[in-house]
C-alpha cells in the first residue's frame, strides 16, 4: 500500500492568518479561497498523470510516471471536501468521507470573553447532499451534524491518529492500493508521529504547505517515508 497524504488547498482562515498573523475572525469551517481552488485544480491535474495504467512500485519512488490512485478519502471539514472533490472529479474516482481525519480541535469557536475554545456542530447530511452530492457519507450520518462534541483535547489527538492508522492498515494493508488522504496540517503531524512511533509531539513539527503531497509506503513489515511536503506541481505564486 502507498499512502499519499494531501493537505487541503488554501482556506479562508489560512489566507486571513497570512494577512493578519492571528486567528481573530476565524471561521469554524472555512471554504477554499480563489487561490485555494486554483491550487486544487493544479494538484488534480498533476495527480491525474498516469491514471489508469499499471506501475512498477519498486522503481518509481518519485512518481515520475504518475500516481495511479485507487482510493480517495476526505475529512468532513469543508476545505478538505472542496479540495478532495476537485481531485476525485479529475481522476474519475469516488470521494469517501472519513470523519476521524478531521483537523485537531474539531469544529469550534473562540469565546471572546474567556478565550475558551468551544465545540460547535459540524455540517449535516442535508448540507453535503445539497452542496457536495458526490461525497460518499459515512453510514448513519444524519441531520444532527457530524461534530457535536467539545473542543478536542490535546491528549486525545495521538490516540485518534493511531486509530486512523490502524483502520487504514485494516482496510488496505498488504494490498497494492494507492490511497489518498485529503486532510489537514495539524492532523498530519499526529498521524506521522503514529507512523514513526513517536510518543510526543513536543519538539517536532512536520511542515505541510497547502495542496502539498507526502508519500508513505507500507511494504510488508517496513514503513518507508518516501517524500514529504512536495509542492513542485504548483507554480511559485500559488505556494502558500
Torsional sign, CA 165, 134, 70, 72 = negative
Secondary structure string (H, E, C) spanning the chain: CEEEEEECCCEHHHHHHHHHCCCCCCCCCCCECHHHHHHHHHHHHHHHCCCCCCCCCCCCCCCCCCCCCCEEEECCCHHHHHHHHHHHHHHCCCEEECHHHCCCCCCEEECCCCCCEEECCCCCHHHHHHHCCCEECCCCCCCCCCCCCCCCCHHHHHHHHHHHHHHHHHHHCCCCCEEEEEECHHHHHHHHHHHHCCCCCCCCCCCCCCCCEEEEEEECCEEEEEEEEECCCCCHHHCC
Whether residue 56 lies inside any domain: the answer is yes
Whether residue 205 lies inside any domain: the answer is yes
Angle, helices 78-91 vs 34-48, to 10°: value is 40
β partners of residue 62: none
**What's the CA dihedral at 135, 39, 211, 63 to 10 degrees?**
100
Whether residue 217 lies inside any domain: the answer is no
Give me the domain span that covers residue 130. Answer: 2-212+226-238
Domain count, the chain: 1
Whether residue 221 lies inside any domain: the answer is no
The pLDDT, as a whole number, for residue 58 is 61
Whether residue 219 lies inside any domain: the answer is no
Whether residue 103 lies inside any domain: the answer is yes
The pLDDT, as a whole number, for residue 17 is 81
CATH number, domain containing residue 131: 3.40.50.1240
β partners of residue 5: 181, 214
Single pTM value for the model = 0.95
Whether residue 105 lies inside any domain: the answer is yes
pLDDT per 10-residue tile (average), the chain, 240 residues? 97 90 82 98 94 71 92 98 98 97 95 87 96 94 91 93 97 95 97 87 85 95 94 98
The pLDDT, as a whole number, for residue 140 is 87
The pLDDT, as a whole number, for residue 18 is 83
Amino acid at each position: 500500500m502507498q499512502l499519499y497524504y494531501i493537505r487541503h488547498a488554501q482556506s479562508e482562515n489560512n489566507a486571513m492568518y497570512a494577512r493578519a498573523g492571528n486567528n481573530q475572525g476565524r471561521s469554524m469551517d472555512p471554504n477554499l479561497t480563489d487561490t485555494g481552488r486554483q491550487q486544487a485544480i493544479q494538484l488534480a491535474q498533476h495527480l491525474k498523470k498516469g491514471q489508469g495504467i499499471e506501475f512498477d512500485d519498486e522503481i518509481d519512488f518519485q512518481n515520475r510516471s504518475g500516481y495511479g490512485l485507487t482510493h480517495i478519502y476526505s475529512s468532513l471539514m469543508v476545505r478538505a471536501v472542496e479540495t478532495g472533490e476537485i481531485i476525485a472529479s479529475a481522476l474519475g474516482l469516488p470521494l469517501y468521507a472519513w470523519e476521524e481525519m478531521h483537523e485537531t480541535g474539531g469544529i469550534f469557536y473562540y469565546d471572546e470573553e474567556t478565550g475558551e475554545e468551544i465545540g460547535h456542530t459540524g455540517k449535516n447530511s442535508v448540507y453535503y447532499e445539497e452542496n457536495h452530492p458526490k461525497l460518499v457519507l459515512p453510514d448513519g450520518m444524519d441531520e444532527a451534524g457530524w461534530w457535536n462534541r467539545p473542543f478536542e483535547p490535546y491528549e486525545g489527538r495521538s490516540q485518534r491518529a493511531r486509530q486512523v492508522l490502524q483502520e487504514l492498515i485494516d482496510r488496505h494493508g498488504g494490498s497494492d492500493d494507492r490511497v489518498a488522504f485529503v486532510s489537514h496540517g495539524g492532523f498530519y503531524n499526529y498521524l506521522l508521529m503514529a507512523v514513526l512511533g513517536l510518543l510526543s509531539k513536543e519538539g517536532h513539527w512536520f511542515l505541510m504547505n497547502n495542496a502539498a503531497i507526502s508519500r508513505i509506503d507500507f511494504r510488508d513489515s517496513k514503513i518507508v517515508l518516501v517524500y514529504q511536503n512536495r509542492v513542485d506541481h504548483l507554480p511559485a505564486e500559488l505556494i502558500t
